[in-house]
Amino acid sequence: MALKATIFKADLQVADMDRHYYGDHALTIARHPSETDERMMVRVLAFALHAHEALAFGKGLSTDDEPDLWLKDLTGAVEKWIDVGQPDDRRLLKACGRASEVIVYSYSATSAVWWKQLAGKLERARNLQVFNLPAQASTELASMAKRTMQLQCTIQEGQIWVADGDHSVHLELEVLKSRAG
């Protein structure tokens, strides 16, 4: 019998002063049995960084043709395709063909090696952005994972703070590839 996803609930308050976006989101997050708390919390962070009423979680690790998060317009066209981790170049190039904007948040200690192998293959992908979250920061985020969470995310001048009432994590993303043009 296959293991089922574990359901997490998060009340997320976002104050993004860079985008002038302020909103509250009640998130239901299905964590695949093979997914770690760290990966799940990086998905929540990615949601906070791109918060929008139409932003939605994909079906998860078991589905290859969907991202971790995506934003579709009213016609169903994919505006943003957001992946977490270290996707391969074929997946990213396919996503670049399907979406107006593709964003990757890597968070592993091996991200530098992963990116060094892919950078040349993806340099012409003009609608691709790749960011790295330092390993210590993603570990601190993972410590906030609870079945029911109250999270606040503040973004100002590229600085990110995530708090859960007990403690706060300050994050700075490293830009590995910025969008061309």
Average pLDDT, the chain: 93
The answer to whether position 1 is within a domain reads no
Beta strands, E only, the chain: 6-16, 21-31, 55-57, 69-72, 78-84, 99-106, 128-132, 148-156, 159-163, 168-171, 174-177
pLDDT digits (tens, 9 = 90+) for 98-133: 999 999 999 988 999 999 999 999 999 999 999 999
Residue 139's domain is classified under what CATH number? 3.10.640.10
Report how many domains make up the chain.
Answer: 1
Query: Does the pTM exceed 0.85?
Result: yes
pLDDT at 1: 56
Amino acid occupying residue 104: V
Domain extent at residue 104: 6-177
Q: From its phi and psi, is residue 98 left (phi > 0), alpha (psi between -120 and 50) or beta?
A: alpha
- What residues contact 51, with CB distance under 8 A and at least 6 apart? 12, 14, 16, 21, 23, 25
Distance CA 158, CA 173 (A): 8
- With vertex at residue 130, the alpha carbon angle to CA 40 and CA 176, rounded to the nearest 5 degrees, is 125
Token pair, residue 52, equals 């929008």
pLDDT digits (tens, 9 = 90+) for 29-71: 999 888 999 999 999 999 999 999 999 998 866 567 799 999 9
The answer to whether position 120 is within a domain reads yes
pLDDT at 61: 62
